[in-house]
Structure 1
């Protein structure tokens, strides 16, 4: 049984909403009553708005680079006077082994993903504070969590967004601004060339969208989490840390460290750090 989650009266901007997962988010938001700002760089942005209106939804386009986040949020304010949710989905890949990767390929990917997310959130943040809250979903990737051959630039960008999201979650919590990140696995133009037939048939965009809509809804209380999802499956990821070792004397050397390396790296006994304070407490022997 499908349990509907309504967004009536709520305004949600989707950066990178003109294709793939972003388009799916926009369609599902419109079906759920949201007023949607579809952000994108090409004519397909207007085509998505036409689709949303055909469904009876309210939507406007914002044809702009994701790094022009001010334009996206201004469009929301001009059209609807507020911004309740922000999904930053825009991204590119420039895959190449690190030995062959150019500085331009590195900078372009980092700029679109990281500078783009910064620009969108920076523009929405004061508006959300003034109106008493909001929900933000950034898009990370398994590459940012684990690395991936030929994607040093993409992995670095997606890892950066995790740190960005975690800090926003801390700073926004007292303002009722909650921020999370989704690591989606879905068939899109970006993944079509690397997915096999089983992946293409199983990892459909509509099976990711409900999890993202849940996170961007005002009723969601999750904050600071990475949600990995695909094929109707989702889980929350968190850091795990080995207990490690402590040298009580200060006259130890690198040889002593290497001799006990297995004790540092084994996960037979673990804890789950959640903040920089947890790391400081471990270093100071407070645990």
Structure 2
């Protein structure tokens, strides 16, 4: 079996100072990539900042014979996103892969969440992914190649308590993927999204130690490396991954029912009578664009 390699490629990993991001950085470097290790060095709630986390990972990679540089900019501003990618371009000349992994947590129930909490979480997870992706996309477009991996969450995809900002941002990341994948297709820029569960500072106080032991960050890296490789041809897909389990998830659309046309008024009673068909997911399928959803309207035209 041929080994997947990243020789002569440049990989940018945000939030790479610990946890899953650190595992990504080591895995890419171990297969020949030159890695930009981005980490603001703040605490889990987004406060503070320091260089130690990114510097430590860079030193570890270099001690293992790899090539890496650190970057300490926040992903949550256009200036920061551009600075991260500029660091890669000035040091290594290009960007081939971007892994949007940076994140913070401020879990609170809806009525206890402040505007500051909301803004910080959404800015890091969603705006941050946009800011870095936008800067990287320009270089990838010029080079005619790119692989972008975003990070969503099962909380956003399926629901959870007390994470309104986090969940909203993580679903927003899926929308961002749809846009990047659509616009990037003509330039050989692929974009996919993962929903990982792994032991990290984000989860170390919400799960028991015996569970965290089975959720090693290193178990997530193989999927990310495959999606980032030249061999991967898939784009605009969402994947679950945890403890060696991998599966695809998708936003699907069912055929539903056409109750009428422009020639007459549809009543709420008709909706009620058709509720079982409207809510059924039988024959539901993923769609590649909003235009694809128009196929279900053909009986009306």
* TM-score (norm. length: structure 1): 0.95
Stretches of structure 2 lacking an aligned partner (at least 5 in a row): 42-51
Match of 1:56 among 59, 65, 78: 65
Measured after TM superposition, the shift of residue 198 of structure 1 is 4.2
Q: CA deviation at 1:245?
A: 1.5
Q: 2:259 corresponds to which residue? A: 247
Tell me the CA shift for residue 3 of structure 1.
Answer: 6.2
Q: CA RMSD in A?
A: 1.7
Listed as ranges, the matches of 1:29-178 within 5 Å are: 29-42=28-41, 43-67=52-76, 68-178=80-190
Which whole-Å CA distance do the structure 1 matches of 2:266 and 2:191 have between them?
Answer: 43
Instruction: Indicate conservation of the 8 Å contact 1:239/1:274, yes or no.
Output: no
Contact kept? 1:241, 1:271, Cα under 8 Å: yes
Cα distance change of structure 1 residues 3 and 188 upon mapping to structure 2, 3 Å threshold: farther
CA apart distance, 1:277:
1.3
Give yes or no for contact 2:260–2:266 (8 Å, CA) kept in 1.
no
Structure 1: 4+ residue segments shifted above 4 A: none
CA distance in 2, matches of 1:6, 1:129: 22
Give the match for residue 197 of structure 2: 185
Aligned residues: 286
Whether the 8 Å CA contact 2:100–2:149 is kept in 1: the answer is: yes
Higher mean displacement: 56-65 or 239-248: 239-248
Partner of residue 244, structure 2? 232
1:269 deviates by: 4.2
Q: Which consecutive residues of structure 1, in runs of 5 or more, have no partner in the other structure?
A: none
Mapped to 1, the partners of 2:83 and 2:285 lie a distance apart of 43
Displacement of 1:267: 2.6
Question: Within 5 A, what are the aligned runs for 1:205-224?
Answer: 205-224=217-236
Contact 1:168 1:179 in 2 (8 A): yes
Task: Give the Å deviation of 1:286.
Answer: 7.1
